[in-house]
Amino acid sequence: MPDEPPQQPEPDRTVCFCHNVPRSRIIAEIRAGNRTLQAIRACTHASTGCGGCEFEVREILAEEAKLADEPDQC
């Protein structure tokens, strides 16, 4: 069986349940220029309730930073 690539999380999966913030909203804010945890907290309130989603928000920030550093494919 060939190795399958890891599945990407669903874009509208809820990351922050305290404030009902989906992954797509966090990604949109990052792509709009809000590239720090503090900025994401201010814009979306994600990670300002119980704090249980902070690790995932940081992961999304890191993923998006890596994508921004990759050269264009064309």
Domains of the chain: 14-68 (1.10.10.1100)
Q: What is the mean pLDDT of residues 30-58?
A: 97
pTM greater than 0.95 (yes/no): no
Q: What are the distances in angstroms from CA 73 to CA 21, 69, 70?
A: 31, 12, 9
54 Ramachandran zone, left/alpha/beta (phi>0; psi -120 to 50): alpha
- Tell me if residue 53 falls in helix, strand or coil: coil
What pLDDT shows up at residue 4?
Answer: 66
* Residue percentage of the chain with pLDDT more than 70: 80
3-state secondary structure (DSSP) of residue 21? strand
Closest residue by Cα to residue 22 from 40, 3, 36: 40
Average pLDDT, the chain: 89
